[in-house]
Structure 1
Amino acid sequence: MLRVVTELVSSGERVTAIVNPASRHYDRIGELGATVMGARVVSESLLRRAGVDADDDGTPSTARALVLLDNDDVHNVHTALTARDMDPDLRIIVQMVNPRLGKQLISLLGDCVVINGPWLAAPAFVSDALEDDELTWLDLGGRRLVVGQADLIAEPHLTVLADTTSSATPELLPVTSADPEGDIVLGTGVRTLWRARDVRPAGWLMAMRDIFDSRVRKIAAVMAFLVAAGTGVVHFFGNIEWWRALYLAAGVVTSAGIDDDKFNDAAPWVKVSAVLVQLTGIVLMALLTAVVVDSLVGARLSRIIGGVRGRPRNHVVVCGLGTVGARVLEILTERGVAVVGVDQDEDAPGVQVAHRLKIPVVIGDSSNEETLRSAGVQRCQSVLAITDGDITNLESAMVAGDLNPEARITMRMFDHDLAQRVERRLGLGHSRSVSMLVAPAIAAAVANRRSQVTVPAGRRVLLLTEVTVEDGSVAVGRRLGELDEAGGLRVLARQDLGGSWDWTPAYERPLRAGDRLAVAGTRSGLARLLMTTRPQQTPAAS
Structure 2
Amino acid sequence: MVICGDDGLAHRLAVELDAVCGEMVTVVLPSTSDEHGARIAALHQDPDSPVELHLSARPDERTLRAAGVERAAALALTYRDDQVNMTGALLARTVNPSVRLVVRMFDRERGRHLERLLDRAAGLCDDLGEDTSTTVLSDADTAVPELVAAAAVGHGHTLQVEGKVFRGVVRRAGTPPHTTDLATLAVLSGAHQDDPASQDSAETTGEDGIRLLPDDRTAYHRQFTHGRLMLEEVSHLAAEQTARTRRFRPRSWVRARLAHLPWKVFLSHQLVAVYGALAAVVAGLSTATALFADERPWWKNVYLPLLDIFTMGDPATEESVARRVLQLLAGFVGLAVLPLVVAATVNATDAFRTASASHPPDDDVDGHIVLVGLGMVGTRVLDRLHATGHQVVAIERDPRARGVALARRLGIPLLLEDATEPAVLERARVRQSGSLLVLTRDDGQNLDIVMAVRETNPAVRVVTRLYDDAFAATVQRTLRASYPDALTRSRSVSALAAPSFAAAMMGRHVLGVMPVERGSLLFTCVDVAGHPELEGRSVHEAFRENEWRVLAVGAARGPLPGSAAVEGSDTLHPDRTDFDWRPAQGRVLAAGDRVVLATTRRGLDVLMTGVRLRPDGGEGDSGLG
Instruction: Indicate the residue corresponding to 2:271 in structure 1.
Output: 216
Is the aligned partner of 1:391 residue 2:465? no
Instruction: Indicate the residue corresponding to 2:134 in structure 1.
Output: 112
Instruction: Indicate the residue corresponding to 1:45 in structure 2.
Output: 62
Instruction: Indicate the residue corresponding to 2:302 in structure 1.
Output: 246
1 CA distance for matches of 2:187 and 2:414?
Answer: 37
2 CA distance for matches of 1:325 and 1:437?
Answer: 14
Is the aligned partner of 1:129 residue 2:184? no
* Residue identity opposite 2:88 in structure 1: T
1:47 CA drift (Å): 0.8
* Residue in structure 2 matching 1:317, options 353, 370, 373: 370
Once the two structures are superposed, what CA deviation does each residue of 1:247-286 show, in whole Å capped at 9, x if it has no partner? 2132234343465689x347x3x76555444423322211
Is the aligned partner of 1:15 residue 2:36? no
1:18 CA drift (Å): 0.6
TM-score computed with the length of structure 1 as normaliser: 0.73
Is the aligned partner of 1:424 residue 2:487? no
Contact 2:161 2:511 in 1 (8 A): no
Contact 2:476 2:488 in 1 (8 A): no
1 CA distance for matches of 2:61 and 2:352?
Answer: 46
Contact 1:137 1:146 in 2 (8 A): yes
Instruction: Indicate the residue corresponding to 1:519 in structure 2.
Output: 597
1:438 CA drift (Å): 2.3
Is the aligned partner of 1:484 residue 2:484? no
1:63 CA drift (Å): 0.4
The 1:384/1:472 distance shift into structure 2, 3 A limit, reads: closer
1:15 CA drift (Å): 0.7
Q: How does 1:303-452 map to 2 (within 5 A)?
A: 303=354, 306-309=357-360, 313-314=365-366, 315-343=368-396, 348-351=401-404, 353-354=406-407, 356-357=409-410, 359=412, 362=415, 366-369=419-422, 372=425, 377=430, 380-405=433-458, 407-413=460-466, 414-415=469-470, 416-427=472-483, 429-433=487-491, 434-450=493-509, 452=511
Once the two structures are superposed, what CA deviation does each residue of 1:65-111 show, in whole Å capped at 9, x if it has no partner? 11122223332222222212332221112233333333333322221
2:473 alignment partner, SS class: helix
Instruction: Indicate the residue corresponding to 1:35 in structure 2.
Output: 52
The 1:188/1:123 distance shift into structure 2, 3 A limit, reads: closer
Contact 1:160 1:185 in 2 (8 A): no
* Residue in structure 2 matching 1:465, options 500, 524, 535: 524
2 CA distance for matches of 1:448 and 1:516?
Answer: 16
Instruction: Indicate the residue corresponding to 1:87 in structure 2.
Output: 96
2 CA distance for matches of 1:205 and 1:496?
Answer: 52
1 CA distance for matches of 2:588 and 2:556?
Answer: 17
Contact 1:473 1:534 in 2 (8 A): no
1 CA distance for matches of 2:186 and 2:399?
Answer: 40
Contact 1:321 1:349 in 2 (8 A): yes
1:324 CA drift (Å): 1.7
* Residue identity opposite 2:107 in structure 1: N
The 1:271/1:161 distance shift into structure 2, 3 A limit, reads: farther
2 CA distance for matches of 1:369 and 1:340?
Answer: 15
Contact 1:318 1:386 in 2 (8 A): yes
2 CA distance for matches of 1:226 and 1:373?
Answer: 42
RMSD over aligned Cα atoms: 5.1
Q: How does 1:143-222 map to 2 (within 5 A)?
A: 147=166, 158-159=182-183, 167=192, 169=194, 175=219, 185-186=232-233, 193=242, 196-197=247-248, 206=261, 213-222=268-277
Once the two structures are superposed, what CA deviation does each residue of 1:287-321 show, in whole Å capped at 9, x if it has no partner? 12233455678x798x4664344766434332233
1 CA distance for matches of 2:144 and 2:424?
Answer: 23
The 1:88/1:391 distance shift into structure 2, 3 A limit, reads: same
Contact 1:161 1:186 in 2 (8 A): no
Instruction: Indicate the residue corresponding to 2:335 in structure 1.
Output: 282
The 1:471/1:90 distance shift into structure 2, 3 A limit, reads: farther
1 CA distance for matches of 2:146 and 2:423?
Answer: 28
Instruction: Indicate the residue corresponding to 1:530 in structure 2.
Output: 604
Q: Structure 1: which 5+ residue stretches go unaligned?
A: 54-61, 538-542
The 1:530/1:173 distance shift into structure 2, 3 A limit, reads: closer
The 1:284/1:368 distance shift into structure 2, 3 A limit, reads: same
1:446 CA drift (Å): 2.1
Contact 1:343 1:364 in 2 (8 A): yes
Is the aligned partner of 1:24 residue 2:35? yes
2 CA distance for matches of 1:45 and 1:300?
Answer: 59
Range moving further from structure 2, 318-327 or 379-388: 379-388
The 1:461/1:477 distance shift into structure 2, 3 A limit, reads: same
Contact 1:161 1:185 in 2 (8 A): no
Contact 1:8 1:443 in 2 (8 A): yes
1:377 CA drift (Å): 4.4
1:383 alignment partner, SS class: strand
1 CA distance for matches of 2:41 and 2:464?
Answer: 29
2:150 alignment partner, SS class: helix
TM-score computed with the length of structure 2 as normaliser: 0.65
1:25 alignment partner, SS class: helix
1:46 CA drift (Å): 0.8
2 CA distance for matches of 1:535 and 1:454?
Answer: 19
The 1:417/1:409 distance shift into structure 2, 3 A limit, reads: closer
Is the aligned partner of 1:71 residue 2:132? no
Contact 2:235 2:388 in 1 (8 A): no
Contact 2:554 2:593 in 1 (8 A): yes
Q: Structure 2: which 5+ residue stretches go unaligned?
A: 1-9, 44-48, 120-132, 172-177, 197-211, 559-576, 612-625
2:57 alignment partner, SS class: coil
Range moving further from structure 2, 386-395 or 252-261: 252-261
